[in-house]
Each structure stands twice: as C-alpha cells, then as structure tokens.
Amino acid sequence: MQFSKSTDYALHALIHLGHSERCNNVGIKELSGALGVSESYLSKIMSKLRQDGIVRAVSGVNGGYELARPADQITFLDVIQVIEGRQQLFECSNSSSRQHRLLAEEGAAQRDQNRPRKNECLVEKVMNGAEQHLHQYLQEHTIQSVLDEAFKRCSHEVNKK
Amino acid sequence: MQFSKSTDYALHALIHLGHSERCNNVGIKELSGALGVSESYLSKIMSKLRQDGIVRAVSGVNGGYELARPADQITFLDVIQVIEGRQQLFECSNSSSRQHRLLAEEGAAQRDQNRPRKNECLVEKVMNGAEQHLHQYLQEHTIQSVLDEAFKRCSHEVNKK
DNA sequence: CTAATATAGACCTTTGTTGTCCATAATAAA
DNA sequence: TTTATTATGGACAACAAAGGTCTATATTAG
Ligand code: SF4
Ligand code: SF4
C-alpha cells in the first residue's frame, strides 16, 4: 500500500510547471533534467496527465507542456487519481461467503426507503469512510499550496538575514 | 493503491474469531469454510497475525486460533499494518534531483532548533499528513466496533417484527 | 502411537510497476 | 517545401509483488 513512483514524478513535474508558468511550454527535456527521470518514461506520465486534462501539450518546435488550469485548481487527489486509477481503496472479494450472509446486512437496508445505500456492509462502511477522509484531505492540498508554502519559507529565510 | 485481498481475509477471519469467542480455538478448517478461502493461503495469513501478536495459536488436536487480546483493542490499523507492512504511504525516490535542491527546504529547518523535524520537505509534509489522517481514522475502528454494530442492526431488525 | 492441527519453506502463476525503444504525427522556422 | 524539434502511442522486457498450492515438520490431545 504505497503510492507509485509515477505519482511522485507526476507531482514534481506539475510543481515544476507551476513554478515556470511565465515562460510557457516546458519541454520534456527540461522536465526530465530537473527531475532526474528518463525522457521516455516521463513522457508517458505527461501523456496521461494530458489525457485527463491536467496539462496541455503542443507538439513541434518550441512545443512542450503547460498546466491546463490554474495551479490552485489541481489537487493532490486529482493527480493521484489520474496516475493510480480510481479504484476503491477496499474492494470486497468474497461477498458470497458464508460469513457475508451471517454478519453483513441484507435485511435492514432493503426495506428501508429513507436510506438508499446500495449494499454497503459494515466492513466496507469503515473502509469507505477511511477513503473519504483521505480524499478530503488530499483535495485540500493543491500544486499551488505547495508553491505558496515554498515561497513563504524562502522569503522568511531572506528576512532573517 | 488498494488494500490487498490478504487484508480483506485477515479482517474477516478476525471478525469470525471475535464472534466465536466463547468456544475457544477456532480451527483453520472452520475459518476457511466460513470465508471461502483455501486453507493453505489463509493459514499463511493467520501465521502472520500470530507473529505480530494479534492472535494466539495452539497446535495439535482441538487446536486452533483465538484473539490474543480483546476485540476492542484490535484496530483496523493494526490489521492493515501487519498484512500490508509499515512502509510509508509516500516515499520520495529522487531527493537528489535538481528540483529537490531548488524547491524543498534545506535552509530553514537546519538552523531552527525549536523544530526538530528531520528533513520533511513540502511534498512529504502533505503526504505524511494524509497518512496521519488515514491512520487516525483506522485506529478508531476495531473488530469489536464492527461486531457491535452488527448486533445493533440485528436486534433493531428483531424489534421491528 | 495416532490423528488432528499449526508452521515454514519451496515453488508457481498472474498481475502490476518501471522502464526502454521505435515509428509516427504535428509544428515552427529556415 | 524541407528540416529540426517536439509530443504520442505501441510494443516489448525486466523486475517485483500478490495470490495461491503443496509438502515436510513440529506439536499435542486422546
Ligand atoms: S461483509 Fe462486506 S466485506 Fe465482508 S464479505 Fe460481505 S460485502 Fe464483503
Ligand atoms: S522535494 Fe521532497 S518529495 Fe521532492 S525530491 Fe525533495 S525530498 Fe523528494
């Protein structure tokens, strides 16, 4: 249970793009150099980010990448979901076991119209809750918020001198 | 980024053990039957749980497993960490890149004695925050809490009739 | 002793991650 | 138009992790 390196790379690439907003179109060479990741692999990742509308790309001479929307509208969750996929944190695999029938719900939810929960069992309820908490936190942090804090630290450093 | 099936199995096995507290020593056959998982594989998982002090096991005739401590002291986090390992959710892989030197911290933390943070950069700060939130939530839910809620549902169902 | 039970290790298959390489398309500039 | 530059997509491979089986071994109640 760990985020993949690709997610790491994607985040850093986006931070780099956000930091270089003024001079549009950062090429894969520059990104690759800054992050220390091969051009081949990184371009795969950038391609994914483009397909999901996180960045824009233009081919040809002087082409490259730029953020498709303001950095404060690109959340950590967005990036993670593009790279890692949108599968649930927990996905039950044996819902046909004896135990499921004994200890889950079945009875209560079906007849109760005021709660249109599909078939959420007690284990899934805990795990989905965990996922929601995680997502909410990750949604509150954006590429911009990292840049802001970096800038704050930097100017604080200058003031001290 | 998903919990493994083993975690699923472990949680269900523990719930079963918690539910059968009275008649000690539940054998692997019974567990395997209840969960619909092969004895071989499930025994691997139970073995791990024993090594980490979640369950006790006794060999020989009438042997089997039982919870090593009360069900309300076995949290979801405990189980997940035994099965998935205790690696961090995010682990930086390229801390020697150009970008790290430009955008991380270095300067600020080293001189400042009132914050003994090791080398937590801004990206790690966000990710570690996410992990902490997740862990806190998972720590608040135990095997017992699931059993309790199952019982509540059940008796509520009975009252309705 | 014997049957039942857990344990540990070897081994295998499937799947996912990380990565390279090459052919192709798009585009700005000469 | 041609050329150099850049991104894109597919094929492929090395490696690691997950999921699972099988067998030999130790432990213990009866
Ligand atoms: S109780 Fe929930 S997690 Fe368990 S088998 Fe049923 S659906 Fe799956
Ligand atoms: S800034 Fe943080 S996450 Fe990025 S390379 Fe440095 S240590 Fe790693």
- Cα Rg of chain B (Å, integer): 21
A130: CA distance to ligand 2 center in Å? 26
pLDDT digits (tens, 9 = 90+) for A105-120: 654 444 444 444 456 7
pLDDT of residue B157: 60
pLDDT digits (tens, 9 = 90+) for A58-104: 999 999 999 999 999 999 999 999 999 999 999 998 888 888 876 66
Distance of B25 CA from D29 C1′ (whole Å): 13
A41 Cβ nearer than 7 Å to chain C strand: yes
User: Residue A56 pLDDT > 90, yes or no?
Assistant: yes
Distance between CA atoms of residues A115 and A41, nearest Å: 46
Closest to B123 in 3D by CA, of B97, B91, B96 = B91
Q: B19 CB less than 6 Å from ligand 2?
A: no
pTM: 0.90
In terms of CA atoms, which chain A residue is nearest residue B146? A122
Residues with Cβ < 8 Å from B84, sequence gap 6 or more?
A: A1, B3, B4, B7
Distance between CA atoms of residues B57 and A155, nearest Å: 59
Residues of chain B with Cβ-Cβ distance to A93 below 8 Å are 5, 8
Q: Are B54 and B45 in contact (CB under 8 A)?
A: no
For residue B90, the ligand closest to its alpha carbon is: 2
Distance between CA atoms of residues A144 and A66, nearest Å: 14
Distance from CA of A125 to the nearest CA of B (A): 10
Distance of B40 CA from D28 C1′ (whole Å): 21
A4 Cβ nearer than 7 Å to chain C strand: yes
CA B92 vs CA A117, A120, B21, B119: distances in Å: 39, 35, 43, 12
Residues A35-44 have a mean pLDDT of 97
| Tokens of residue A41, six digits | 């692999």
Could you tell me how many residues make up chain A?
Answer: 161
Q: Residue A130 and residue B138: Cβ atoms within 8 Å?
A: yes
B97 vs B39, more confident: B39
Closest to A122 in 3D by CA, of A112, A133, A109 = A109
Q: Residue A122 and residue B146: Cβ atoms within 8 Å?
A: yes
CB atoms within 10 A of CB A63: 12
